[in-house]
Chains A and B, each alone.
Chain A
């Protein structure tokens, strides 16, 4: 007779990292079934949502090309490998435990994978020619991944300016959307005149059924509603729009849109608690005095209501809101590498029912 009732076993297993969790499948037949059970998967994902992680693509030696560094509060620093994709890839987006990666040798080839469970899907090629005729870089300006954990489906969005052959660019904005349920791409066209910085492109947030990007001018957030295929604008809080000399970043905070505004001495955190009414609340104002020297090169990457992960050129720091303590979680010695913030993504560990 086992020591614990099933509900206690579930609570214990829900707190294991994915790899040890899958090892427990061999303990007994009940545990094998538990791990694939819908209720357990929901519990597991709820527990892991409280543990924000940062994944960093390191530009290390060729052998470690397909591995990522993972930093989080529970386990510290670990390594995650994408070698199961059997391709050299670049991470383009991260959402709710899935990553969207593009193939480096094969342009136009995209994968969506769960780096923890090593499940992956090679997306069918989009038959639309604009995939290779995006302007100006030849690839999509915006890449978004919308992973809906409760519905066990995802969308991939490739959006960018298109220039018809032989013509000047005219603001035509092509949007290609892949739906995992139908396994198909669809396209729609609109007109836009926004530009996006590197961080704007990296920091796409999926909440309330829409993908959100901050625009380069920081005048508004551009949102793509995936249910209705429409683009709309969401305004920023007045203090952020009219503040000068501040850097602004768009993040997710426990399922809500969040803006982090960094000036020389302060970090203001705004959260849109009421999405319907588009109302912003300033939830915290953090003094940056203790990390004064790092402020010019610091970028927020991931957060929950309890802590914020930030990256500099060579370090990953975490700020705990309750205790108001800063901690260094990870640092690199090799200064010749790309800055850590350049390819750092918010992440969390999620498992999905196998279908």
Chain B
């Protein structure tokens, strides 16, 4: 049957040509539209995507098409792990992947990459977010303060004895929460307090050291003390004795 082995040619911004199976290429709604409405024999130009990025994207599409068609023996869990590894790239590559997924209209890849970036900025301060996205701060100091006051609750940290602090995982430079039978690495970022430990090690400790990131990255980290740890089934309850404002 011709349709299953139909190939489509794609030319990137740096003049590289890729020949891919139609089923893989049409994961991109943009390519699908052009193919169905244009001339199927000529090459489709993907102007805004470089060869390196397109190569990665085609890997992603191929993996997902094969797994859905049952051509590859891969469980949903394994595909999830594969996706998690796929986005473990440097920031520039990740951003290029997002822009390409957006322009090629590959919904699942856009979802995956945007969720990854959202997780990355979850625990960041506004100035760090501006740097990450190259955004100019157009607030005056007074205006910014006013917005902060208006949304005060979003900027306050939970504090005090007996408070559970398990939120705002920021995993730009750390490993994500990985579940497998043998061990788990749990990352907890509570605004400026970041720790990484393996749960099996934590289970034997009575207390752990927590380091607070100071405003100025060159000053030494400040140690807070943790009073008590309850290790649940992969989620850690920490009782902090501190108050902290962003």
Give the interface of A toward B (CB within 8 A): 1-5, 7-9, 11-17, 19-20, 22-29, 31-32, 61, 63-64, 75-79, 81, 84, 118, 320, 322-323, 325, 327-331, 333
Contacts and interface: CB of A to CB of B under 8 A. Distances in A.
B170 to A, nearest CB: 9
B118 A27 contact: no
| Complex A-B, nearest 9 residue pairs according to Cβ-Cβ distance, in ascending order | A15-B118, A22-B154, A323-B76, A11-B114, A26-B126, A79-B164, A322-B76, A78-B167, A77-B235
Between B110, B123, B136, B232, the greatest number of chain A beta carbons within 10 A of the residue's beta carbon is seen for: B232
B234 to A, nearest CB: 8
A32 B118 contact: no
A32 B148 CA distance: 11
A330 B121 contact: no
Contacts of A78: 164, 166-167
13 contacts: A2-B134, A8-B114, A11-B114, A12-B118, A12-B121, A15-B115, A19-B153, A19-B168, A24-B129, A25-B154, A26-B126, A75-B167, A78-B167
B139 to A, nearest CB: 7
A293 to B, nearest CB: 16
A8 B168 CA distance: 21
Contacts of A16: 118, 121-122
A63 B164 CA distance: 12
Contacts of A1: 134
Nearest to B165: A79
Interface stretch (B24-32, B36-44, B94-102): B94-102
Interface in B228-246: 230, 232-235, 246
A7 B153 CA distance: 27
A3 B155 CA distance: 26
Contacts of A23: 126, 151, 154-155, 246
Contacts of A32: 147
A303 B175 CA distance: 29
B114 A15 contact: yes
A29 to B, nearest CB: 5
Nearest to B120: A12
A31 B136 CA distance: 11
B194 interface: no
A12 B134 CA distance: 15
B30 to A, nearest CB: 14
B169 to A, nearest CB: 7
Contact of A27 (B76, B126, B246): B126
A2 B133 contact: yes
Contact of A320 (B76, B168, B234, B235): B76
B236 to A, nearest CB: 9
Nearest to A80: B167
A2 B135 CA distance: 5
A8 B235 CA distance: 32
Interface in B97-125: 98-99, 102, 110-111, 114-115, 117-118, 121-123
A25 B77 CA distance: 36
Nearest to A13: B118
B137 interface: yes
Given A17-B167, A76-B177, A330-B235, A61 B162 contact: yes
Contacts of B162: 61, 63-64
Contact of A24 (B77, B126, B168): B126
Contacts of B75: 323
Contact of B154 (A19, A27, A81, A329): A19
A325 B183 CA distance: 18
Contacts of B158: 79, 81
Between B115, B136, B151, B163, the greatest number of chain A beta carbons within 10 A of the residue's beta carbon is seen for: B151
Contacts of B163: 79
A8 B138 contact: no
B144 interface: yes
B130 interface: yes
A24 B132 CA distance: 13
A8 B126 contact: no
